[in-house]
Structure 1
């Protein structure tokens, strides 16, 4: 059997195991170990050991538990309640105003954690009950929360961009800055869609009742604006020292985690229960990430040992004679397909090393390409059958939010994400203007 067919067999077997409900790291790691043993004998088992050692040397991964802990402190201490109350009061009188406030809440939450899971938890526990109470359309509620929470992997501090920086050997600071423009553009397009949709059909998202608006005085509204200062302070405390070069990436993540704890203490909400839940969830998610990374590194080593990366390069550039833009579009399309089955971390560690090399050879900026990859991951979070946010939403939402409703709700937001991806491909300055302005490149 040729190496190309072995690579295809590995991928198809891995996807089959995932369809049967196996854990992601288990399916990837099992295929990697079996393939290594069959191809190279007992010495192939060293690949797993090498993957563990490689992960242990990635110091930037120390940021992962810090950002996860920060997000869970914000969620469990209910610090996001004040933020949502602010958006609820100021945008509630508009048709679709609470949905707009939810998107803006997710933008601010994204600036305080590097994953979408914290945004999903906050959206499902804080925003969802209010949206249901105000008789919002179920697909609108589900779509807004899922799409808004996905911004957490694009707007800094993004853990996905940290992992990409390790693979592509690109500065995290530039990747974070490059994610701001597309992230805000995507949020603005979400808001535009909500405004247009509710203008066409106000019954989907009715405004706050007049008696509820009358009960809130203007002094109360202005006092609520102070809630918006908190995420700005935490974001600035992390980003400014890092971008200026005063702190390392790991030190900045510690500053963010400590800032969230200090904020919770000052609000009188940092209890033992909050600390215990945040610590347990941080440990669980960090271990899950590490297991997936180690399994994916082993799989990628076997995949690369078969020469699959070189074969793909020869196919695209040599035999098919494609242009660089055509190759780029094929790479993004393959990421979208893989994202329906693979976790974004596994997809990054297995496939990205091959595509990063190809992108470099085609002359593409790897910081810009990292943003394209991350947007593709966002789309993968919302695409059936195994979109991560789809199942999180099903687990967190009430029972009447069926999988049919959840699947249907994400379609318009996926189209908006694809539009954003196309705009960033067509106009790279959307992503590159900020890092180029600050670093003068």
Structure 2
């Protein structure tokens, strides 16, 4: 086999092992080291050891020389250097801080107050409970960035209230599942930090570029919820008189000030300090972590047990992301050294694709990968395969990253592998069937595709803020 063929075999074997259920990070590292040993193998030292045995050299010296030849492969130096590179990456330093902020906010008991306040404030809007649930999901998902936590918590809080208000089961579950995934798109998004580290794109420009597409998707969701509530009132009946209490204006302002405002100020402080150059993403993440702690203390929700859980979950998730990076860097380095990247580039060039056709092909592959894989694995492992091809088609990595972020919403919403549906099913009442949740996801899935189409047709939605603010 030629080296490029070995590289393609390496990629195919990795995909096969992933589908068998092997841990992805350690599979990447193992494949990188094994195939890297083949790629960088230099047998001269081992042959010299055998020759010294024939010359009646000392057994200890010969074995030592042989072992030195066996372990003196550049793949081990590469693996150590890649590990150090990940550990010293300043962009990735923000990941544990944002995660800690999210886990602390999740435990601050703010979501219950927020949902109640928004439900009362929007009671005159068609589908008021759905609107309140969607806004709460969007704000909470933006603050935490943890899809499973948002969907689970909102399923426990909002779903019983919506079912009690006679909302259609599919409609209610679709709102919660779709709203819970928005945190991986709307800044400050951990996914965008990971993409920035993988692609070398400015995280500040990525955050600025993701704002308007994020609001666009939220707006499309809102139009669908309100529009369907108007056109099909049976899916979201109006509240009965007295079902939602009338709250005086002054009391409403107090409720907003104590529920919506603190979380909104925290998000705006973190995001604003990054976008206006007042702090680096890492410094802003530290501000957010401190703000999350202060919120938990202010809401009398801070206990040692909750703090310990937050620290443990932060360390576990951060370790997963960092080891994925180590494995991915090692794997991709060996893959490129063997000529695999050149083979893929030549193959794509031979297809004679237009930029639109390339984007459609890339997004289709990412869409399909979203069924069996998490977003972190797609961003760290597979997206870097497309990045070297972007200059060939004149595609900006910033624009490509925002399309990927929109596309990855579908990985949580596409049956039969829609993880948000399984998160919700795990805590939903027994009468809520998985097929009903799947049915509720389909309209929101089409909203994502519509948002991607609008962003492609009007790319200034992505580029306007980065260019206006940073030139």
Instruction: Indicate whether the TM-score tops 0.5.
Output: yes
Alignment of 1:31-430 (within 5 A): 31-37=31-37, 40=40, 43=73, 44=75, 46-214=77-245, 216-226=247-257, 227-317=259-349, 319-430=350-461
How far did residue 217 of structure 1 move? Answer: 4.3
How far did residue 22 of structure 1 move? Answer: 3.5
How far did residue 403 of structure 1 move? Answer: 3.5
RMSD: 2.4
Conservation of the 8 A alpha-carbon contact between 1:93 and 1:213: no
Q: Secondary structure at the match of 1:183?
A: helix
Query: Which range is displaced more, 411-420 or 267-276?
Result: 267-276
Q: Deviations over 1:263-306 (max 9, x none)?
A: 22122222223212222222222222223222333332333233
Structure 1 distance, partners of 2:422, 2:33, is: 29
Query: Which range is displaced more, 26-35 or 99-108?
Result: 26-35
Query: Which range is displaced more, 262-271 or 36-45?
Result: 36-45
Structure 2 distance, partners of 1:392, 1:291, is: 25
Correspondence 1:435 to 2:450: no
Mark the CA change 1:396 to 1:212 in structure 2 (over 3 Å): closer, same or farther.
Answer: same
Conservation of the 8 A alpha-carbon contact between 2:196 and 2:203: yes
Mark the CA change 1:417 to 1:204 in structure 2 (over 3 Å): closer, same or farther.
Answer: same
Structure 2 distance, partners of 1:153, 1:167, is: 16
Query: Which range is displaced more, 181-190 or 354-363?
Result: 354-363
Structure 2 distance, partners of 1:380, 1:8, is: 26
Q: Secondary structure at the match of 1:60?
A: coil
Structure 2 distance, partners of 1:32, 1:136, is: 51
Q: Secondary structure at the match of 2:181?
A: helix
Conservation of the 8 A alpha-carbon contact between 2:207 and 2:275: no
Structure 2 distance, partners of 1:383, 1:22, is: 23
What are the ranges of 5 or more consecutive residues in structure 2 without an aligned counterpart? 42-70
Mark the CA change 1:138 to 1:239 in structure 2 (over 3 Å): closer, same or farther.
Answer: same
Structure 1 distance, partners of 2:172, 2:21, is: 28
Q: Deviations over 1:370-422 (max 9, x none)?
A: 11111122222322454443433333434444443333332211111011111
Structure 2 distance, partners of 1:341, 1:306, is: 27
What TM-score comes out, normalization by structure 2 length? 0.85
Conservation of the 8 A alpha-carbon contact between 1:234 and 1:259: yes
Q: Deviations over 1:182-237 (max 9, x none)?
A: 11110111111112222232222223322222454444333322222112211232
Structure 1 distance, partners of 2:432, 2:5, is: 42
Query: Which range is displaced more, 333-342 or 384-393?
Result: 384-393
Determine which structure has more spread, i.e. the larger CA radius of gyration: 2
> 2:24: which partner in 1?
24
Structure 2 distance, partners of 1:171, 1:403, is: 40
How far did residue 32 of structure 1 move? Answer: 3.7
Query: Which range is displaced more, 44-53 or 131-140?
Result: 44-53
Structure 2 distance, partners of 1:283, 1:121, is: 21
Structure 2 distance, partners of 1:114, 1:277, is: 17
Conservation of the 8 A alpha-carbon contact between 1:170 and 1:366: yes
Structure 2 distance, partners of 1:161, 1:336, is: 17
